C-alpha cells in the first residue's frame, strides 16, 4: 500500500488549499496567494483522482466490436421512400414556390440588420477640416508656426473638433530648404511647417513616432515609414499610399489655418476609394 | 436514486452502454480533452467577470485606487476592468485565469488538430468532425479577439482598428459592411457593447452547440486507434469509460484548472492599467496581439506595399493579407479530407490511424504548413525581435519575406525524406523510452534487436 500513500496525501493537500483559500479571501487580497491556494485545491484533487484511476483501478482492457456505420440497403431505400413520398415530390410547382417563398422570407428577416449602421456615403472621403479651420492642439489652443519647435512634432485638430479621430493631424516643422514636396504644394508649408494626416494609410494606427534625424514618420503598428521631406511618401513597410497632406497657411493674425480638407481620403484604403 | 431515474427514463440499458464505451489509451488523445476543460474554465471565470464588467463606452473620470490614472477620462468599460483588477476581491486572479485559459484553449485546439492531421484521423467517416473542428478553431480565435477588445485599453483598440481596415477592404461591400459591423466610421461608441454580446452570448452559444455535435459524432463513430496487437479496423481496444477513463479525465480537468490557477495567480497577463485607456490618437508601441493572431499580424506586416489600381478600382493593401490569405487558408484546411481523397483516390473508411511516416506526402505538407504559420507568427513580433537581437528591422522583413517561400519547402522536403527513411529502418523514436536491445555483431559494432 506504500505506493498509494501519496494519493491520500493529495486529497489532504487539496483540502488544505481550499480551506486556505476561504480563510485568505477574508483577510487578504494578493492574486498570487489566491492563485497558489486555488492551484493546490484543484491540483491536489486532480493528482488524487488520477492516481486513484491509474493505480487503484485495475480494469481489464476490453475489445468492442465496431458495427458498420452505414445502414443496410433495405433500410436505406425505405428511408429514401419515406423522404421522397409522392405527396412531397410530385408537387413540383409547390416545391418551387416553397423554395422561392423561403428565399424572400430570408430577405425579409435579414433586412432589419441594416439598422446596425449608417451608409458610408462620403464619410470615408471627408474629415472635419474645412477652409479656414484653425489648427489647435488637443486642449484647443491655436498654433502659430513659432509654437512648433524646429524638428518637433505636434498632434493637432480642427478647432471645435479636438480629439476627433478621423481629423487627427501632425504638424512637423523642418528646415524649408530640405522640403521637396510634390508639385503644386509649394505654399502648403508656411515657415517649414507641414501637416499630415496622423492615420496610417495601412491599417489606421496613429503614426506618432517622429525620427527627427531622418525626418521620417514611423507607424508603431507595422513599421511603415514615411519620408516627411517628400510629402510623407512611404519608404518602408506595408503602407502603399503617402499620408495625405493638409493644405495649410498662416492667417492674418498669425495662426495656422487649413486651406481645406485633405485632398485624398485619410486612413486605410477601402474598396471603391476615389483615387486620381 | 438510480432507480428513481430509471423508472422515469428507462435509463439502465443505454446508460450502461455508455458507461461501457471503450476508450483507447494514448496520450495524444488527451489534447482535445484539455481544450474542452479550458473552455469549461473560460465559461466559469467568464461568467464571474460578466457580473462586474460594464460594456459601456460612456466617458467617466477615474477616481479609484490606482493612482497613476487618477483624474483621467476613460470609458466605463475600462474603469470596470480596473475595478475588477484593484477593488473586486479575487477579481484580478479571475481575470488572469480567464486570459491564460484563452491562450491554453486555442493552443490545445491547435495541438489536437495537429494530432488529428498527422495521424489521418480525419479520413472517412470523420470528415464531418474535422470540419466542425476547423469551425471551432475559427470561433475560438473570434472569442479571443472579441475578449481582447473588451477592456477598451490602448492595445485592444489597435486590434479593432486593424479588423476595421480589413473589413472595409472587402470587394464591393467593404465600406457598407464595415459601417454595419462597427455602427459607423471607426472608432465608434457602440462597438464595445456589440463585442460584448458576441463574446458572452452569441459565440459561446455557437461553440457549445458545435462541441456537443463534435462529441455526439465522436460517440457515434467511436474512437480511432493506432495499429497494434488485437486491434483491427473492425474493433476498438481500450478501457471502459467507467470508472477508470472517467476518473482520469475528471482528474485531468482538475489538473488543467490547477495549472491555469497557478498561471493566473503568478504570471501577470494583460496588465491593462499600465497601457492606459483607449485613445484614438495615441501611439501604442510595441503592440503585440495574443499569440493565436500573431500569424495574421505577421501576414499584414510582411505583405509588400502593393496597392494596384485595376480598371479604375484600387485594391486596398489589406485585402490580400488580412482577408484573402486567411480565407484560403481556412478553406483549404476545412476541405483537406476531400482534397486528400481526390488525390489518393482512397475513399474507404479508416479507423486505424496512420503513423506520420506512413504518409510522407501528407506529413511533408503538414510540416510545410506549420512552418509557414510559425514564420508568419515570428513576423508578427518582428519589431520586438529586431530590438532584442539588434538586427535592422528591414533585414528581418526581407529575410522573412523570402523565408516564407523557401523554408516551408525545405522543411517539407526534409520531412518527406525522414518519413521514407523511417519507414525503411523501422525506427521507433516515439517509443525510445522503452529502451532498445543491442547485440554485438560480427564486425564488433552494435545492432538493434527488434522486439516484436
Ligand atoms: C472560447 C472562450 C473564450 C475566450 C477565448 C475568451 C477570451 C477572452 C480574453 C482574451 C479576454 C481579455 C481578458 C483580459 O482582460 O485580459 C476576455 C475578457 C472577457 N471575457 Fe472572455 N473568453 C471566452 C469565453 C468567455 C465567456 C463564456 C464569457 C462569459 C460568459 C466571457 C466573459 C468575458 C468578459 C466579461 C470579459 C471582459 C472582462 C475583462 O477583460 O476583464 N468570456 N475573454
Ligand atoms: S497601420 Fe501603420 S503600418 Fe500598419
* pLDDT tens-digit readout, B380-398: 988 888 888 999 988 999 9
pLDDT of B199 strictly over 50: yes
- Nearest CA to B161 out of B303, B309, B282, B79 is that of B282
pLDDT for residue B452 is more than 80: no
3-state secondary structure of B170: coil
Sheet containing strand A135-136, edge to edge, reads A135-136, A153-158, A169-173, A193-197, A245-246
Which grid cell is B440?
A: 554485438
> What gap in Å lies between CA A126 and CA A265, rounded to an integer?
7
CB of B143 closer than 6 angstroms to any ligand 1 atom? yes
How far apart are the C-alpha atoms of B172 and B174, rounded to whole Å? 6
Residues of B in contact with A59 (CB under 8 A): 239-240, 243-244
Query: pLDDT tens digits, residue range B311-326?
Result: 888 999 999 999 999 9
Mean pLDDT along residues B350-365: 96
Residue B435's pLDDT is what? 54
Axis-axis angle for helices B127-149, B154-167 (nearest 10):
130
From the number of C-beta atoms within 10 Å of its C-beta (0-12, 13-18, 19+), residue B184 rates as middle
Q: A224 C-alpha vs ligand 2 centroid, how far in Å?
A: 6
Query: Cβ contacts of residue A128 below 8 Å, gap of 6+?
Result: A157, A158, A160, A161, A164, A166, A167
What is the per-residue DSSP string for B249-276?
Answer: HHHHHHHHHHHHHHHHHHS----HHHH-
At B174, which helix (H) or strand (E)?
A: helix B174-182
Contact A17, A40 (CB under 8 A): yes
Instruction: Identify which ligand lies nearest to the alpha carbon of A225.
Output: 2
Average pLDDT over residues B369-386: 93
Look at A4 and B211; give whichever has higher pLDDT: B211
Look at residue B448 in the predicted model and tell me its pLDDT: 62
Give SS3 for B308: coil
Residue B102: CB within 6 Å of ligand 1? yes
What is the DSSP-derived secondary structure letter of residue B432? Answer: G
Among A222, A208, A240, smallest CA distance to B380 is for A222
Q: Which residues pair with B60 in a beta bridge?
A: B74
Q: What is the mean pLDDT of residues A21-36?
A: 95
Cβ of A222 below 6 Å from ligand 2? yes
pLDDT tens digits for range B25-70? 889 999 999 999 999 999 999 999 999 999 999 999 999 999 999 9
Q: Which residues pair with A197 in a beta bridge?
A: A169
β-pairing, B22-23 vs B235-240, is: antiparallel
Please classify residue A100 by burial: count the beta carbons closer than 10 Å to its beta carbon, then call 0-12 exposed, 13-18 middle and 19+ buried: exposed
Instruction: Using CB atoms, pick whichever of A25, A57, A220 lies closest to residue B284.
Output: A220
pLDDT tens digits for B263-298?
999 999 999 999 999 988 886 666 678 899 999 999
Which of B22, B175, B251 is facing A124, going by the closest CB pair?
Answer: B175
pLDDT in the model for residue B438: 64
Q: What would the mean pLDDT of B129-140 be, rounded to a whole number?
A: 98
Among all ligands shown, which has an atom nearest to the Cα of B100? 1
Alpha carbons B81 and B54: distance in angstroms, whole number? 8
- With a pLDDT cut of 70, the percent of chain A lying above it is 99
Q: What is the mean pLDDT of chain B?
A: 92
CB interface of B with A, residues 221-240, below 8 Å: 221-222, 230, 233-240
Mean pLDDT of B188-207: 96
* DSSP calls for chain A: -GGGHHHHHHHHHHHHHHHHHHHHHHH---HHHHHHHHHHHHHHHHHHHHHIIIII--PPPEEEE---SSPPHHHHHHHHHHHT-HHHHS-HHHHHHHHHHHHHHHHHHHGGGGGGS---TTTTT--S--TTPBEE-TT--B--GGGSPTT-EEEEEETT-TT-GGG-EEEEE--GGG--PPTT-GGG-GGGEEEEESB-TTT--B--EEETTTTEEE-TTT--EEEGGGTSEEEESS--SPPPEEPEEE-TTS-EEESSS-SS--SS--TT----
Report residue A226: phi and psi, to 5°.
Answer: -120, 135
Name, in order, each residue with C-beta under 8 angstroms of A103's C-beta and a sequence gap of 6 or more.
none
Ligand 2 in contact with A179 (CB < 6 A)? no
Average confidence score pLDDT of chain A: 93
Q: What is the pLDDT of residues B72-89, one digit of tens each?
A: 999 999 999 999 999 999
CA dihedral defined by B399, B404, B406, B412, rounded to 10 degrees? 140
Which one of B46, B87, B139 would you pick to mutate in the ligand 1 pocket, going by the greatest count of ligand atoms within 8 A of its CB? B46
- For residue B84, which atom of ligand 1 is closest to its CA? 41
In the predicted model, is pLDDT for residue A3 greater than 80? no
B371-378 average pLDDT score: 96
What pLDDT, on the 0 to 100 scale, is given for residue B12? 86
Q: Report yes or no: A227 and A216 within 8 Å, Cβ to Cβ.
A: yes
Residue B83 is predicted with a pLDDT of 97
- Identify the residue whose C-alpha is closest to ligand 1 atom 37: B150
CA distances from B108 to A162, B309, B359 (A): 46, 42, 24
What percent of chain B is predicted at pLDDT more than 90? 76
Residue A5 pLDDT > 50: yes
Dihedral sign (CA B440, B442, B444, B446) = negative
Inter-chain touch A62–B237, beta carbons under 8 Å? yes
Is a pLDDT exceeding 70 seen at residue B449? no
Check: CB of residue B139 under 8 Å from CB of residue B210: yes
Cβ neighbours of B93 in A, within 8 Å: 31, 34-35, 38
- In this prediction, residue B115 carries a pLDDT of 97
Question: Which candidate in B169, B302, B314 is best for mutational testing of the A interface (most A CBs within 10 A)?
Answer: B314
pLDDT at residue B360 in the model: 96
Helices A31-51, B246-266: crossing angle, 10 deg rounding: 160
What is the tens place of the pLDDT at every residue in B329-343?
Answer: 999 999 999 999 999
Does the pLDDT of residue B434 top 80, yes or no?
no
Stretch among A12-26, A86-100, B141-155 having the lowest mean pLDDT: A86-100
Compute the radius of gyration of chain B from its Cα atoms: 25
Q: What is the pLDDT of residue B13?
A: 85
Specify whether the CB–CB gap between B81 and B130 falls below 8 A.
no
Question: What does the pLDDT read at residue B444?
Answer: 64
* Interval B432-441 mean pLDDT: 59
Amino acid at each position: 500500500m506504500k505506493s498509494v500513500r501519496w494519493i491520500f496525501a493529495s486529497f489532504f493537500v487539496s483540502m488544505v488549499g481550499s480551506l486556505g483559500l476561504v480563510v485568505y479571501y477574508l483577510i487578504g487580497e494578493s492574486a498570487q496567494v489566491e492563485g497558489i491556494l486555488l492551484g493546490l485545491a484543484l491540483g491536489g484533487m486532480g493528482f488524487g483522482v488520477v492516481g486513484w484511476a491509474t493505480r487503484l483501478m485495475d480494469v481489464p482492457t476490453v475489445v468492442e466490436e465496431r458495427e458498420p456505420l452505414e445502414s443496410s440497403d433495405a433500410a436505406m431505400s425505405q428511408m429514401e421512400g419515406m423522404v421522397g413520398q409522392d405527396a412531397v415530390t410530385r408537387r413540383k410547382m409547390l416545391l418551387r414556390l416553397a423554395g422561392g417563398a423561403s428565399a424572400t422570407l430570408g430577405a425579409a428577416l435579414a433586412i432589419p440588420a441594416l439598422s446596425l449602421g449608417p451608409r458610408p456615403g462620403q464619410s470615408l472621403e471627408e474629415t472635419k477640416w474645412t477652409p479656414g479651420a484653425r489648427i489647435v492642439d488637443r486642449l484647443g489652443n491655436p498654433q502659430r508656426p513659432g509654437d512648433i519647435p524646429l524638428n518637433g512634432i505636434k498632434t493637432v485638430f480642427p478647432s471645435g473638433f479636438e480629439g476627433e479621430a478621423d481629423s487627427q493631424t501632425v504638424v512637423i516643422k523642418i528646415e524649408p530648404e530640405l522640403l521637396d514636396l510634390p508639385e503644386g504644394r509649394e505654399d502648403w508649408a508656411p515657415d517649414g511647417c507641414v501637416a499630415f494626416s496622423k492615420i496610417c494609410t495601412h491599417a489606421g494606427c496613429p503614426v506618432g513616432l517622429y525620427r527627427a534625424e531622418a525626418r521620417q514618420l514611423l507607424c508603431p503598428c507595422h513599421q511603415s515609414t514615411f519620408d516627411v521631406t517628400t510629402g510623407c511618401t512611404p519608404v518602408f513597410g506595408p503602407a502603399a499610399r503617402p499620408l495625405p497632406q493638409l493644405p495649410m497657411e498662416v492667417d492674418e493674425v498669425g495662426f495656422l489655418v487649413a486651406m481645406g480638407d485633405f485632398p485624398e481620403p485619410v486612413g486605410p484604403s477601402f474598396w471603391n476609394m476615389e483615387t486620381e | 436514486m438510480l432507480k428513481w431515474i430509471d423508472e422515469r427514463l428507462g435509463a439502465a440499458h443505454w446508460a450502461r452502454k455508455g458507461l461501457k464505451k471503450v476508450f483507447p489509451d494514448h496520450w495524444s488523445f488527451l489534447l482535445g480533452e484539455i481544450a474542452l476543460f479550458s473552455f469549461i474554465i473560460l465559461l466559469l471565470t467568464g461568467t464571474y467577470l460578466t457580473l462586474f464588467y460594464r460594456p459601456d463606452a460612456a466617458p467617466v473620470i477615474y477616481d479609484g485606487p490606482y493612482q497613476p490614472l487618477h483624474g483621467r477620462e476613460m470609458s466605463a468599460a475600462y474603469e470596470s476592468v480596473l475595478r475588477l483588477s484593484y477593488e473586486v476581491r479575487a477579481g484580478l486572479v479571475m481575470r488572469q485565469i480567464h486570459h491564460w485559459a484563452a491562450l491554453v484553449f486555442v493552443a490545445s485546439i491547435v495541438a489536437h488538430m495537429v494530432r488529428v492531421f498527422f495521424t489521418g484521423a480525419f479520413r472517412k467517416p470523420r470528415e464531418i468532425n474535422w470540419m466542425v473542428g476547423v469551425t471551432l478553431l475559427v470561433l475560438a480565435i473570434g472569442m479571443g479577439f472579441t475578449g481582447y477588445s473588451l477592456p477598451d485599453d490602448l492595445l485592444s483598440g489597435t486590434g479593432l482598428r486593424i479588423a476595421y481596415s480589413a473589413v472595409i477592404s472587402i470587394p464591393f461591400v467593404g465600406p457598407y459592411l464595415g459601417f454595419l459591423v462597427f455602427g459607423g466610421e471607426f472608432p465608434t461608441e457602440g462597438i464595445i457593447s456589440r463585442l460584448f454580446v458576441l463574446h458572452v452570448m452569441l459565440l459561446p452559444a455557437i461553440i457549445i452547440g458545435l462541441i456537443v455535435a463534435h462529441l455526439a459524432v465522436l460517440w457515434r463513430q467511436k474512437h480511432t486507434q493506432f495499429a497494434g496487437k488485437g486491434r483491427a479496423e473492425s474493433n476498438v481496444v481500450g478501457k471502459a469509460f467507467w470508472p477508470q477513463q472517467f476518473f482520469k479525465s475528471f482528474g485531468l480537468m482538475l489538473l488543467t484548472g490547477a495549472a491555469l490557477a497557478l498561471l493566473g495567480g503568478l504570471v501577470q497577463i494583460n496588465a491593462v492599467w499600465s497601457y492606459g485607456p483607449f485613445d484614438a490618437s495615441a501611439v501604442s508601441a510595441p503592440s503585440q496581439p495574443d499569440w493565436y493572431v500573431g500569424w495574421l499580424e505577421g501576414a499584414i506586416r510582411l505583405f509588400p506595399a502593393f496597392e494596384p489600381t485595376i480598371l479604375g478600382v484600387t485594391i486596398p493593401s489589406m485585402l490580400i493579407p488580412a482577408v484573402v490569405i486567411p480565407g484560403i487558408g481556412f478553406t483549404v484546411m476545412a476541405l483537406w479530407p476531400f482534397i486528400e481523397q481526390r488525390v489518393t483516390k482512397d475513399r474507404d473508411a479508416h479507423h486505424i490511424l496512420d503513423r506520420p511516416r506512413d504518409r510522407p506526402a501528407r506529413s511533408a505538407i503538414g510540416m510545410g504548413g506549420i512552418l509557414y504559420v510559425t514564420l508568419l507568427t515570428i513576423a508578427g513580433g518582428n519589431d520586438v525581435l529586431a530590438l532584442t537581437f539588434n538586427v535592422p528591422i528591414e533585414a528581418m522583413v526581407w529575410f522573412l519575406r523570402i523565408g516564407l517561400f523557401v523554408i516551408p519547402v525545405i522543411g517539407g522536403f526534409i520531412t518527406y525524406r525522414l518519413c521514407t527513411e523511417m519507414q525503411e529502418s523501422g525506427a521507433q523514436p516515439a517509443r525510445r523510452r522503452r529502451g532498445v536491445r543491442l547485440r554485438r555483431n560480427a564486425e564488433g559494432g552494435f545492432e538493434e534487436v527488434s522486439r516484436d
